[in-house]
Amino acid sequence: MGVSDELLRNVVETVPMEVAILDTSGTIVFTNERWRTFGLENGLVGDTSSLGENYFDVLEDASADAQTDAVRDAIQAALDGDTTVQQFDYPCHSPEVPRWFVMYVTGVVDEDGARYVHLGHLDITERKLAELSVTERSERLQTVAQVLSPDLRNPLNVASAYVDLLEESADVSALDDVRAAHERMASIIEDSLVLTRGIDVGEMEPVSLERAATEAWAFVETGDASFAVTEDLVFVANESLLGNLFENLVRNAVEHGREDGPVTVRTGVLPTGDGF
């Protein structure tokens, strides 16, 4: 038992995508309810059915790019008899929200052998936003991986140096420095988790520029480099993340500073007094 034409039409009318049928000239000869509703929802003036419009003209008015040319070629291939389903992802952002769609282009033939093109536009915004979220998370993880290794290397090296000192001198007072280095590593790991989760940086409190910079200097292998804080400044920051910043600055200054002699690192207050 076959299905009625009315049933088939109802299926096309209610399918969750914008559907259009083009004749051999590229003229739109049918659109479904979803197509017409999309036009109304997005402020299209005039006949939202788009019947009688030539889709090749629509593509001509669109921004010229490789994908527009590919869609035009796919439609022409379908009219020439190619029944392969081709698809194209494209953005269609409104002023309020970002949106993405996928277009399906398929060649079809009626009972008389006449050729048509079936266009389907499916909203894939939720999927695209999920993909972008995964990409953003991956980029954050890559950033963490890039900074975590050198940031952990410094306190580890400091701890190892004091362990060597203990082995040579049995000076247990150095254990405080080893403990401080391990605590710094734990803090760096916690800060890294903040970055990977993309959440707020956490508690902010008044911080001394001199103390933060001096403590960072102690956790970096500086060789024969020298260090000085020319003026102190108290400002609000996340102390642990600020420590990461200073450690990176110190390490970069020492590793990439002068080649003709020892490096001198100075930290001070800007002339305006609102920064360092």
Residues whose CB is less than 8 angstroms from the CB of residue 228 and which lie 6 or more positions away in sequence, other chains included:
264, 265, 266, 267
Per-residue pLDDT at 75: 92
Report how far residue 89's alpha carbon sits from residue 191's, in angstroms, rounded to the nearest whole number: 37
Percent of the chain exceeding pLDDT 70 equals 84
Tokens of 258: 């002068």
User: What pLDDT digit, counting tens, does each position of 41-98 carry?
Assistant: 776 667 788 899 999 988 887 766 778 888 999 999 999 988 889 999 888 777 777 8
Check residues 1 and 202 and name the one with the higher pLDDT: 202
189: amino acid identity, one letter:
I
Tokens of 19: 């559907």
pTM over 0.75: no
Residue 268 CA to its chain's centroid (Å) = 35
Per-residue HEC secondary structure of 236-260 comes to EECHHHHHHHHHHHHHHHHHCCCCC
**Average pLDDT, integer, range 181-198:** 66
Q: How many CB atoms lie within 10 A of CB 265?
A: 19
User: What pLDDT digit, counting tens, does each position of 167-179 carry?
Assistant: 677 666 667 777 7
Per-residue pLDDT at 150: 66
Residue 63 DSSP class? P
Residue 104 class from Cβ within 10 Å (0-12 exposed, 13-18 middle, 19+ buried)?
middle
Per-residue pLDDT at 195: 60
Q: Which residue has the tokens 């590793």?
A: 255
Check residues 123 and 163 and name the one with the higher pLDDT: 123
Grouping H, G, I as helix, E, B as strand and the rest as coil, residue 21 is strand
Q: How many CB atoms lie within 10 A of CB 229?
A: 20
Give the residue from 12, 18, 13, 26 showing the smallest Cα distance to 101: 18
Model confidence at 140, in pLDDT bands (50, 70, 90)?
confident
Contact 53, 149 (CB under 8 A): no
Average pLDDT taken over every residue of the chain: 81
Model confidence at 200, in pLDDT bands (50, 70, 90)?
low
Per-residue pLDDT at 152: 65
Per-residue pLDDT at 172: 67
| Gap between the terminal Cα atoms of the chain | 82
Model confidence at 190, in pLDDT bands (50, 70, 90)?
low
